[in-house]
């Protein structure tokens, strides 16, 4: 085993422990919990048996396991950016609601 | 229906140059329920509006025309409005047209939409690039949103009280026009398009939509679907 494999195994184990901690504290919904559990397990399996990455790369037609990892990372970053856009949009809407309520509460009309 | 239950909602952002004449015309036409939503103007708009017997609401942060219209519409509903008319602050819309909007709402049309492209409409000084932009918007609304109106980007509209309660648009900025049209369809509200008189000026053209707003509108419509 290479040093990188040990690092990845340690990282994924820490990730899974932290995930269970978050679930116990009620900070995660079930969909996110499953998604992150699957992701960390995938990292753990590939770290223990790197040949799986090459087998998957051949399956997807990308050639090398490292290339597949980069493509998946790009997809993951795009998804993350889109999620951030949605979050920003949601916050913007909340700001608009707040501004609207303040404006209505302080409505002013000059007497004739 | 008396003008007492008709509310005119005017979103305003840096309109100090024209807002006074718009308010004077509306008051002279006996519309006394005017709601001006100042969208955080940096000029004297608020100062001018406060001198007139109209409702003055101020957004403490600029939120866009769609948000200002939502604020004004919600406020008008709370005040007991039966008909809510959306009217621009830039002086290009005609006060004389409002009576026809109200008539149509009273004739059980929940939504009445102004059109610059119907027979009987009068459009003064519309430049070719604006016409091109509006034609593109019409095609986009038809193909992408599936709504077929003769003038989808026209902000001159009247809503019955029921329609104002049911049309809950999310878009804060310019995409609210298209979203309202889509909501009219999904809410199955009876609507009517009527010809209007629009008088473009150098001032109103500067304030209106341009080609660079197109991508922003498309993006806003997309992101607000989620």
- What pLDDT is stored for residue B4 in this prediction? 83
What percentage of chain B carries pLDDT values higher than 90?
A: 72
pTM of the model: 0.84
CA separation for the pair A95, A88 (Å, rounded):
10
The answer to whether residue A41 sits within a structural domain is: yes
**Residue A54 domain-assigned (yes or no):** no
Please state which of the ranges B11-15, B80-84, B210-214 shows the lowest mean pLDDT. Answer: B210-214
Predicted complex ipTM: 0.90
Q: How far apart are CA A48 and CA B130, in angstroms?
A: 63
pLDDT (0 to 100) of residue B223: 85
What share of chain A has pLDDT > 90, as a percent?
63
| Domain that includes residue B96, residue range | 3-223
Q: Are residues A36 and A71 in the same domain?
A: no
- CATH number (domain holding residue B202): 3.90.550.10
Residue A58 lies inside a defined structural domain of this protein? no
Is A60 in CB contact (< 8 Å) with chain B?
no
With CA atoms as reference, the chain A residue closest to B37 would be A103
A38-63 pLDDT per residue, tens: 999 999 999 999 888 888 888 888 88
A69 and A45 inside one domain: no
User: Domain for residue A1, yes or no?
Assistant: yes
Contact A100 B63 (CB under 8 A): yes
Question: Would the CB atoms of A92 and B172 count as touching at under 8 Å?
Answer: yes
**pLDDT value at A112 more than 70:** no
Residue A93 Cα, gap to closest chain B Cα (Å): 8
DSSP summary character for residue B42: S
Q: What's residue B132's pLDDT?
A: 87
CB contact under 8 A, B223 and A104: no
Interface probe for B, chosen from A103, A105, A108 (most Cβ of B below 10 Å), is A103
Matching residue, tokens 């709601």: B35
Tell me if residue B6 falls in helix, strand or coil: strand
Q: What is the pLDDT of residue B177?
A: 92
Please write the tens of the pLDDT for every residue from B128-160: 888 888 888 888 888 888 888 999 989 999 999
Domain count within chain A = 2
Q: What's the DSSP call for residue B4?
A: G
Q: Domain count of chain B?
A: 1
Q: Are residues A36 and A4 in the same domain?
A: yes
* Residue B135: per-residue pLDDT: 87
The number of beta carbons lying within 10 Å of the beta carbon of residue A108 is 12
Note down the domain range covering A78.
Answer: 65-105
Asked if the structure places residue A100 within a domain, the reply is yes
**Residue B1 pLDDT level (bands cut at 50, 70, 90):** low
pLDDT band at B184 (very low <50, low <70, confident <90, very high): very high
Calculate mean pLDDT across residues B195-215.
Answer: 82
* B12-39 average pLDDT score: 97
């Amino acid at each position: 085993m290479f040093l990188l494999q040990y690092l990845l195994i340690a990282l994924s184990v820490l990730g899974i422990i932290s995930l269970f901690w978050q679930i116990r504290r009620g900070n995660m919904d079930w969909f996110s919990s499953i998604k992150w559990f699957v992701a960390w397990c995938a990292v753990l399996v590939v770290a223990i048996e790197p040949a799986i990455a090459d087998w998957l790369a051949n399956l997807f037609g990308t050639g090398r396991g490292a290339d597949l990892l980069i493509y998946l990372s790009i997809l993951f970053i795009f998804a993350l950016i889109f999620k951030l856009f949605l979050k920003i949009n949601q916050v913007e809407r909340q700001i608009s609601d707040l501004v609207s309520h303040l404006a209505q509460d302080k409505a002013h009309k000059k007497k004739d | 229906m008396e003008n007492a239950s008709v509310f005119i909602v005017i979103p305003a952002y840096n309109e100090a140059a024209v807002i006074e004449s718009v308010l004077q015309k509306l008051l002279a036409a006996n519309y006394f329920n005017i709601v001006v939503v100042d969208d955080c103007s940096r000029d004297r708009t608020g100062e001018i509006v406060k001198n007139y017997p109209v409702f003055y609401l101020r957004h403490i942060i600029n939120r866009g025309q769609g948000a200002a219209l939502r604020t004004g519409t919600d406020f008008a509903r709370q005040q007991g409005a039966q008909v809510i008319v959306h009217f621009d602050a830039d002086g290009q819309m005609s006060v004389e047209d409002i009576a026809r909007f109200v008539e149509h709402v009273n004739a059980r049309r929940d939504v009445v939409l102004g059109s610059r492209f119907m027979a009987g409409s009068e459009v003064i000084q519309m430049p070719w690039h604006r016409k091109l932009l509006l034609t593109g918007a019409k095609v986009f609304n038809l193909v992408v949103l599936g709504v077929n109106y003769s003038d989808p980007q026209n902000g001159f509209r009247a809503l019955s009280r029921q329609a104002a309660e049911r049309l809950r648009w999310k878009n804060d900025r310019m995409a609210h026009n298209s979203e309202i049209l889509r909501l009219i369809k999904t809410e199955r509200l009876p609507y009517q398009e009527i010809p209007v008189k629009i008088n473009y000026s150098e001032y109103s053209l500067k304030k209106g939509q341009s080609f660079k707003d197109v991508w922003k509108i498309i993006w806003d419509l997309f992101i607000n679907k989620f």
